[in-house]
Structure 1
Amino acid sequence: MTTDDTITIRTATDDDWDAVALLDAHAFGEHQNSEDLAETQILTSSEHVVMAWDGDAPVGVAMHFPMSVTVPGGTQVEASGVSWVSVAPTHRRRGILRRMFTRQHEKLEKAGAPLSLLTASEATIYGRFGYGPATEEHSVVLDRRFAQFHKDVPPVTGVRLIESAEASTLLPDIYHRWQRRTAGAQPKPPIRWERFFADRENRRHGLTELFFIAHADGYVAYRRSPTESKIVVQEFIAVTDQAYAELWQVLAGVDLVDTIEVNQAPDEALPFLLTSNRLPKITAHHDALWCRVMDVEAALEARTYGVDAQFVLEIEDPFLNAGGTFDVTISEGRASVTRTEAAPDATMKLDVLSAMYFGTHSATRFAAASRLWARDPEALHTVDLAFSTDRASVMGWAF
């Protein structure tokens, strides 16, 4: 890779949005219509957009949405949602992404949010910038014709079929309650709820308009295929296990379809609600939310931990300034984190710490992959237990 000094990196202005849309269309293969572009401009502003220019030609863009996210233990932490990242195919391998990301993340560092988040179209791009995959999802197909729920599953008592107008008044509160208790989930902005219920044709991907099933503590929004005998779930949100079990029973009872397609966390209870745990078939396994810890002390003190312990972490940040050696002392599930010159109990790059932060990935797993080095097996086990969580983290909405 060569660095092209003829490329100008600058903050966007309000006159640059057509150029932003042009780059996005070529990068992701979808033209943004006027409504989509207007919604993005509500989520962010020109001052949060960094662009690369070759003379008068736009050749790169990266932006962020100010947001927050639930971390293990339920604390709401400020975060930057990095999005719309692309470099024009005419200008690859010139160092443009690194220059844009450096400008963008230096600004994010000064702004002070402890976490930066993104969703990655490719898995090989963002590790060098300190991002690690923080949540995972399974794509699951259930043949509902053979779904039998075991005899101790609570009966359906609180589920209703509702129209979009009623859904628009009920769902945001249910989602909010779920988000506040679910690590990895972000509050959904009002403009994204407006997009959701507008249910425009370009968001349907050849499927029907939305159908809604509601419980006081959960909901399912799904589409049906006009050409295949299937349901495609868009959102399945359950605040309680009772709501989860009831919603699945109703969804599996929808007639005139053979299969249900859904994305869900790896640890969900669906297989064991059924008499045959083999019936749900995992068809894909993929990452969802990616995280970069911007401020190690603030981020580690924000979440809770599985055991009380004391250990020293050495973190290498090859991109910016988040690295260092940190004493982590955990008491009653909360950590006090300070810089230290003590010998480390575990050493890793920032992308590994970021991937461990939400509890999805274990220190032991990274050690086995030669990406984390521990002083001894006991130290590794302690770090593993500390970062573990009782439920999988889940991304709230894709940005």
Structure 2
Amino acid sequence: MSSTAGLAIRSAEDGDWTAMSLLAATCFGSFRPTEANDMWRTLIPADGAVVACDGGDVVGMAFYLDLRLTVPGGAVLPMAGVSWVCVSPTHRRRGVLRTLLAELHERMGSYPIAGLQASEAGIYDRFGYGSATIDESLSVDSRSADFRANAVDPGGVRIVRPLDERARLEEIYERWRLRTPGGLSTPPQLWDEVFSDREVSRHGGSSFFVLLHDDGFVFYRVHGEGERKSLGVTKFAAVTVDARVALWRTLLGMDLFDEVTVTAPPGELLPYLLTDPRLVRITGREDGLWLRIVDVPTVLEARTYLADVSMVLDVSGGGRFALDVRDGRARCAVTDAEPDVSMDLAVLGSLYLGAHRASTFAAANRLRCDDPAVVARLDAAFACEVPAQLGFGF
């Protein structure tokens, strides 16, 4: 047990979870069902949850989940998935958050990388986390959408009952996540939670419907009533281009709905398939997964690269490393040589899955390098053929 500002920092105990649930609901604005909390608790390692207590009151908390992250090239790394980070509004500005995260980072032990989703984007780069995936919210005018003549319908989509096809859906997701940077392995208990389709998860929509293709699927809900109805896609996984085209054709072939909404990484294929690409509007842009690279050599050597590069990286908060990439594979080792490139740990986390470019950080003076050619090589090396996308929210 440690302390800060008169508060006790300790491991969460069974008797704390009622108070923790109340604190989470206060901070995030809604209660999560007890059954859902119980499911998430099964993914927390021993001593993976910490609380800050003022006497008998829980006034701060955080935990991490035992997750598996797909990186560019298809390798999978153990990832500590940080979640439920919150401090009571009665105890702000006392250093509680910093102390909780320091304790949690210490407990992560051998995890080479940590990740989280940030409810407030201005907080976590100071702790070494960088935004590593980008989510664009898209709205499609489905009544007016027409496909180009050369956007042939591959077919193969079926309307299914979700539970009847659970094994098939899980198998397709597994293929999707193993090819997608940011994909996360999904344990059986999390699939149980998905298929429970709780009312609290519907956000005013219907129970979910599922479209199934041999190489992809869509989960969606119906929103609205009467003459104004829309389809809200909650999961869209496609392993092949044919599957993506076929699923989009089916979604936009439902004549009684005005709009389809979906979240996708930048570069969505749909506008290129339509005669009028303006019918696909970007209505929002947010960060998804944030990454903190703990073991820099292990993590940089795990992924593949699209171009050769050889340089010394100085990572504030992480160390100095010689990075040598040849034929798509990297060797990375601690060095005391003069650096070619300097950045902080959060920037390295943002570059890792290929969603952000080194040249953009250089323009913002968050990555420092005197040679533009070196920055260009970093851009080419860290790019990814498959856009990064978070596998599921945690």
Shorter-chain TM-score bucket reads over 0.9
Please, what TM-score do these two structures have when normalized by structure 2? 0.97
AA aligned opposite 2:15: D
Q: How does 1:123-134 map to 2 (within 5 A)?
A: 123-134=121-132
Task: After superposition, give the CA deviation of every residue in 1:53-91 in whole Å (9 maximum; x if it has no partner).
Answer: 111111100000001111011101110000000000100
Partner of residue 215, structure 2? 217
Partner of residue 302, structure 2? 302
Please, what TM-score do these two structures have when normalized by structure 1? 0.95
- CA distance in structure 2 between the aligned counterparts of 1:131 and 1:117, rounded to whole angstroms: 8
Task: After superposition, give the CA deviation of every residue in 1:230-272 in whole Å (9 maximum; x if it has no partner).
Answer: 0100111100000000010011011211100110111121110
Q: Is it true that 1:48 corresponds to 2:48 in the alignment?
A: yes
Partner of residue 270, structure 1? 270
Q: Is it true that 1:290 corresponds to 2:290 in the alignment?
A: yes
Task: After superposition, give the CA deviation of every residue in 1:132-191 in whole Å (9 maximum; x if it has no partner).
Answer: 000001100001111111112232421111112223232111000000000111012212
Partner of residue 118, structure 1? 116
- CA distance in structure 1 between the aligned counterparts of 2:154 and 2:210, rounded to whole angstroms: 16
Q: How far off its partner does 1:4 sit?
A: 4.7
- CA distance in structure 2 between the aligned counterparts of 1:157 and 1:253, rounded to whole angstroms: 12
- CA distance in structure 2 between the aligned counterparts of 1:375 and 1:280, rounded to whole angstroms: 40
- CA distance in structure 2 between the aligned counterparts of 1:384 and 1:261, rounded to whole angstroms: 31
Q: Is the 8 A contact 1:133 1:290 kept in 2?
A: yes
Q: How does 1:145-164 map to 2 (within 5 A)?
A: 145-164=143-162
- CA distance in structure 1 between the aligned counterparts of 2:152 and 2:165, rounded to whole angstroms: 24
Structure 1 residues 142-151 or 219-228, which shifts more? 219-228
Partner of residue 320, structure 1? none
- CA distance in structure 1 between the aligned counterparts of 2:321 and 2:10, rounded to whole angstroms: 35
Q: How far off its partner does 1:46 sit?
A: 5.6
Q: How far off its partner does 1:40 sit?
A: 1.6
Q: Is the 8 A contact 1:72 1:303 kept in 2?
A: yes
3-state secondary structure, aligned to 2:47: helix
Partner of residue 378, structure 1? 373
3-state secondary structure, aligned to 1:197: helix
Q: How far off its partner does 1:47 sit?
A: 1.6
Runs of 4+ aligned residues of structure 1 deviating over 6 Å after TM superposition are none
Partner of residue 355, structure 2? 360
Partner of residue 91, structure 2? 91
Q: How far off its partner does 1:293 sit?
A: 0.4
Partner of residue 38, structure 2? 38
Structure 1 residues 329-338 or 220-229, which shifts more? 220-229
Distance change (3 Å), C-alpha of 1:226 and 1:276: closer
3-state secondary structure, aligned to 2:304: coil
Task: After superposition, give the CA deviation of every residue in 1:3-59 in whole Å (9 maximum; x if it has no partner).
Answer: 953011111122221121121111111112221121122222562101101111111
Partner of residue 344, structure 2? 349
Structure 1: gaps (5+ residues):
318-322
- CA distance in structure 1 between the aligned counterparts of 2:51 and 2:381, rounded to whole angstroms: 40
Cα RMSD between the aligned structures? Answer: 1.2
- CA distance in structure 2 between the aligned counterparts of 1:272 and 1:157, rounded to whole angstroms: 18
Partner of residue 191, structure 1? 189
Q: Is it true that 1:281 corresponds to 2:281 in the alignment?
A: yes
- CA distance in structure 1 between the aligned counterparts of 2:28 and 2:133, rounded to whole angstroms: 22
Partner of residue 13, structure 2? 13
- CA distance in structure 2 between the aligned counterparts of 1:286 and 1:226, rounded to whole angstroms: 25
Q: Is the 8 A contact 2:113 2:294 kept in 1?
A: yes
Q: Is the 8 A contact 1:11 1:49 kept in 2?
A: yes
Q: Is the 8 A contact 1:154 1:242 kept in 2?
A: no
- CA distance in structure 1 between the aligned counterparts of 2:267 and 2:110, rounded to whole angstroms: 33
AA aligned opposite 2:155: T
3-state secondary structure, aligned to 2:74: coil
- CA distance in structure 2 between the aligned counterparts of 1:226 and 1:255, rounded to whole angstroms: 15
- CA distance in structure 2 between the aligned counterparts of 1:167 and 1:287, rounded to whole angstroms: 31
Q: Is it true that 1:387 corresponds to 2:382 in the alignment?
A: yes
- CA distance in structure 2 between the aligned counterparts of 1:203 and 1:309, rounded to whole angstroms: 45
Structure 2: gaps (5+ residues):
none
Q: Is it true that 1:139 corresponds to 2:137 in the alignment?
A: yes
Partner of residue 176, structure 2? 178
AA aligned opposite 2:35: E
3-state secondary structure, aligned to 1:348: strand
Q: Is it true that 1:398 corresponds to 2:373 in the alignment?
A: no
- CA distance in structure 2 between the aligned counterparts of 1:156 and 1:380, rounded to whole angstroms: 41
- CA distance in structure 2 between the aligned counterparts of 1:155 and 1:33, rounded to whole angstroms: 41
Q: Is the 8 A contact 2:293 2:345 kept in 1?
A: yes
3-state secondary structure, aligned to 2:42: helix
AA aligned opposite 1:324: G
- CA distance in structure 1 between the aligned counterparts of 2:155 and 2:199, rounded to whole angstroms: 34
- CA distance in structure 2 between the aligned counterparts of 1:226 and 1:46, rounded to whole angstroms: 44
Q: Is the 8 A contact 1:221 1:235 kept in 2?
A: yes
- CA distance in structure 2 between the aligned counterparts of 1:107 and 1:206, rounded to whole angstroms: 39
Q: Is the 8 A contact 2:179 2:386 kept in 1?
A: no
- CA distance in structure 2 between the aligned counterparts of 1:211 and 1:255, rounded to whole angstroms: 16
- CA distance in structure 2 between the aligned counterparts of 1:142 and 1:77, rounded to whole angstroms: 36
AA aligned opposite 1:155: D
Q: How many residues align?
A: 390
AA aligned opposite 1:14: D
3-state secondary structure, aligned to 2:314: strand
3-state secondary structure, aligned to 2:138: strand
Q: Is the 8 A contact 1:12 1:46 kept in 2?
A: no
